[in-house]
Amino acid sequence: MRKHLYLSGVAMALGLGACADSLNVVNKNNPDVARAYSTPAGIESVISGLGVQVNNVQRATESVNTQAKILAGEGYASVANFGMAARAAIPRSAINNELGNDQQIGNLANFNSFSRFSRTAANALIALDALVKGGGTLGSPAQNTRARAFGFLMLGQSLGNLALAYDSAAVVTPAVPSSEVPALSSYRDVSRAALAMLDTAIAVANSADATTGANGFPLPNTWINGVALTQANFVRLARSYKARIRAGVARTTAERAAVDWAAVIADATNGVTADHFVSLSPSSGWTAVYDANQSYVPGGWHAMPMFYYGMADISGQYDAWLATPIGSRRAFLVTTPDRRWPQGNNRAVQQAEAPSSVLLPAGRYVRNRPTGEDVPLLGPGDSFYDHRRWGSIFVNSQVGNYVDLSKTEIDMLAAEGYIRTGNLAAAAALIDISRIRNGLPSIGVPASATAPIGNIADCVPRVPQGPSFTTTACGNILEAMKYEKRMETSFTGYMIWFADNRGWGDLVEGTPTEWPVPYQEMQARQRPYYNGPSRAGKGTYGF
């Protein structure tokens, strides 16, 4: 957003230059939108380059996404880097947005980046439209159209990511001139704008021009690395992002319930038909620095806390953990039929599954780490387990396919919609796809939305029960859906666990539910900054 103010300053400087020859000097260090987007090749290069920028920022270490993984119980760390230790602390603390606060870099990073990308996309789309209106072309109507569609896709995703994390942001679209500094809008308005941009991407991709001439769809496989999206798959991906954003921006259980679930179902059931991967490769610039690299470093950088993951356990150890005062909780062995977890009834057997400590058997996402790598962690963070789904990427110098958006994520959004609208059979069919693939039994069609799933002796998930929340019982169909979504979206995408746990009312009590506009932006706007006021109450599981 500070870039927007800077562009306004450039406009003022150009105006002054007209009044005096001594000031009429071109400064090539200043941004010049007209020069940057003055050629067809330049415009297409700017648009095609948005893919890697949006991807890398989502996976960066210094980001609210990293902090959100800790706040949501997706991961745990004892090191102070990236705000992780601060966010892991219980009782939770508010988001400190004072000048020079310890998390200022991470708090600002995603706000600045996604705001900048939305401006870049809007400027490029403005330039492309002007080029075509003036009789120019990138090469053909189809080539123009694929660029426009991709620009709107990246614009919608950038605005959507701002809405998922921050309480407000600026809405930038091609209707906003590059010299204008938009006012801050609420996350609801930002999310509506994001959905509108994604709708435009879909409309453009489906237009007649998309198939007129050469160099249209599929997209070049460098725009989303390793993926040459066909016209149909481009539309499916855009609709999947719509479903994620529409459900994910809810801040409370009431807002989540009020989501337009019919629209979510419509988008999700017409969304991706397979996992959407991006091909990571440092040589091509595509990275997942936190999810597939930094979190793999031993020594307190990562563990799987047992608040939510512990629901996989059928041995009674999770119940005993819940019954222990929070500061005294210690790591325990998870025994589960879920094949994403190591199998065996003692730690040595589970460790033996992955003697390399990183590469896991096919279908495994979780390792029981080598004992020598254990780092004693505080209470709820103490765990034997690490997420290692991307071990092959880690050992292959950060080269490999990483899931940005899984089919199961989108299936579970449709399933949640079906549960909320009373179609339990349709929801169960989608949930079973993931459960059965991973060694869990079918849930059948439950008699009601509140009926427990499975036998108490071996059901997964086992859910904490009120009022004391020190014992568990078999979860219902909603809890079965949550469990599958958590397991399949762990260390993928952008703020998925955090957005879901927030909307489901499952966060640890006192957890911040959104970030304030960073103080640097508020200062640039000459407005008072503020700390994050919104906190979660005691939720579903009594955490």
Tens of pLDDT, residue by residue over 51-62, are 999 999 999 999
Percent of the chain with pLDDT over 70: 93
Q: Token pair of 69, please?
A: 């993984």
Q: For residue 25, what pLDDT is reported?
A: 41
Please report the pLDDT score of residue 24 as a whole number.
Answer: 41
Q: How confident is the model at residue 307 (pLDDT cuts 50, 70, 90)?
A: very high
pLDDT at 238 over 60: yes
Residue type, 329: R
Collect all residues with Cβ–Cβ distance below 8 Å to 105 and sequence separation of at least 6: 62
> What integer is the mean pLDDT of 139-145?
98
Check pLDDT > 60 for residue 17. Answer: no
Bridge partners for 460 per DSSP: none
pLDDT for the residue numbered 10: 28
Report pLDDT digits (tens) over 154-169: 999 999 999 999 999 9
Give residue 18's pLDDT. Answer: 34
Give me the mean pLDDT over the 119-132 stretch.
97
Enumerate residues 6+ apart whose C-beta is below 8 A from 224.
Answer: 51, 55, 278
**Mean pLDDT in the chain?**
92
- Minimum mean pLDDT among 281-285, 311-315, 455-459: which range? 455-459
- Residue 12 binned pLDDT confidence (cut-offs 50, 70, 90): very low
**How confident is the model over 338-365, as a mean pLDDT?**
92
**Which stretches of 132-239 are assigned E, i.e. beta strand?**
168-170, 184-186
Token couple for 410: 């989108």
Q: What confidence score (pLDDT) does residue 157 get?
A: 98
Q: What is the pLDDT of residue 36?
A: 67
Alpha-carbon distance of 4 to 524, in angstroms, equals 10
Q: What angle do CA 80, 83, 88 make, to 5 degrees?
A: 80
pLDDT band at residue 358, thresholds of 50, 70 and 90? Answer: confident
CB-CB contact of 151 with 128 (8 Å): yes
Least confident of 122-126, 354-358, 465-469, 510-514: 354-358
Domains and CATH numbers, the chain: 30-61+83-275 (1.25.40), 294-402 (no CATH)
What integer is the mean pLDDT of 21-45? 65
- How large is the average pLDDT for residues 121-145? 97
pLDDT tens, residue by residue, 452-463: 998 888 999 999
| Cβ-based neighbours of 519, under 8 Å, separated by 6 or more | 97, 98, 99, 101, 104, 529
What's residue 31's pLDDT?
Answer: 52
Q: Are 72 and 508 in contact (CB under 8 A)?
A: no
Q: Would you call 98 exposed, middle or buried from its count of C-beta atoms within 10 A (0-12, 13-18, 19+)? A: exposed
| Range 322-327 contact pairs with CB under 8 angstroms and sequence separation of 24 or more | 322/464, 322/469, 322/470, 322/471, 322/472, 323/470, 323/471, 326/90, 326/379, 326/380, 327/378, 327/379
Determine the pLDDT at residue 34: 64
Name the token pair of 20.
């005096």
Only one residue has tokens 């989608």, namely 430
- What's the token pair of residue 28? 């090539």
Residues 6+ apart with CB under 8 A from 260: 246
The span from the CA of 524 to the CA of 359, in Å, is: 47
The pLDDT score that the predictor gives to residue 20 is 34
* Cβ atoms 446, 426 nearer than 8 A: no
Mean pLDDT of 23-49: 72
Structure tokens at 144: 């123009």
- The residue whose two tokens read 């299936």 is 411
Say what the pLDDT of residue 378 is: 78
What would the DSSP string read from start to end of 407-454? HHHHHHHHHHHHHHTT-HHHHHHHHHHHHHHTTPPP----SSTTSPPS
The structure tokens listed for 83 are: 């705000």
What tokens were used for 117?
Answer: 């990308």
Residue 32: pLDDT band with limits 50, 70, 90: low
Q: What is the pLDDT of residue 383?
A: 96
Mean pLDDT of 387-404: 96
Please tell me the distance from the alpha carbon of residue 128 to that of residue 118, in angstroms, as a whole number.
15
Summarize pLDDT for 86-104 with one digit per residue, the tens.
Answer: 999 999 999 999 999 999 9
Contact 384, 376 (CB under 8 A): no
